[in-house]
Chains A and B, each alone.
Chain A
């Protein structure tokens, strides 16, 4: 019963990872990260239900707060990147190339 929720969380998490590695659009990458955070949240809440304590829910709340902060900063960075190059392609920003 609870397993189903956890399996759903794993599936959503993996799709998030796939989004990060297969997309070059920085918006999509950011949203994929949000998706992964949500998957983690789901696992927290499911475990909270399983153990019948509310600590997992509180952790989920904190993750939501962190995710909101991350979204705000991530979008700020995206605006900066767009301002610098006028593109949203993550391959354009390859200053680390060896």
Chain B
């Protein structure tokens, strides 16, 4: 079952993409330093807003900073926010959604009430206000805000799923054996939700990367930190689109799109695992079946 998951080309491509960006995030600053030999923050006054060239592979921006160096360095910020935001959001969704669905009754009423509040709360204005209060908005704070305000939808899904699982015979049978409550939740119910949780996490990751970019675009970010969001934001404030400096905003934008695609591809694989009806036949299986049919045909 586990290796089956890795056989799909979608999953392989997606995981490859995510792995690439993770490596970029981990090794990025070192790569920039060792291979390119440029400081992403260094202002090269001799090359202001230059298009891609041999010296600056992706050109330079208005401030004479190397765009390639910035894009590589920005991966760390964006991936950090993406993973931390998604992790916080997913853990919150599990902690609120699964007990609400499993225990029902008053626990459900209380947890569902909280979920509903977060669901109807206008998240963006709220983030603006919170970010305004917390004056130093580092990437940590941004990630936590994104996670803490973005779990409610996932909690609803998990609640519905565990509500249906908790009434299933195998849970009742284990209850009747006197199984402990936490084991019923974590050993009987939760493993059935791994597919949903994995896909929720990937969704949340795309969401958090996008949210970071969006927030940075609106000016809520750490101005000194480099992330794809801050790159796009500074390109926007310097009217890069109007002035045709496409090499400034396309690389970070493309990175965000690629990471979204990679996560979506893995998600397809997870979906196929959870719902075999979506699975398309593997080419090898098709060939084997056709060969077998031919063989029986010739015998008859």
Whether A associates with B in a native complex is no
- Residues on A facing B (Cβ under 8 Å): none
- Residues on B facing A (Cβ under 8 Å): none
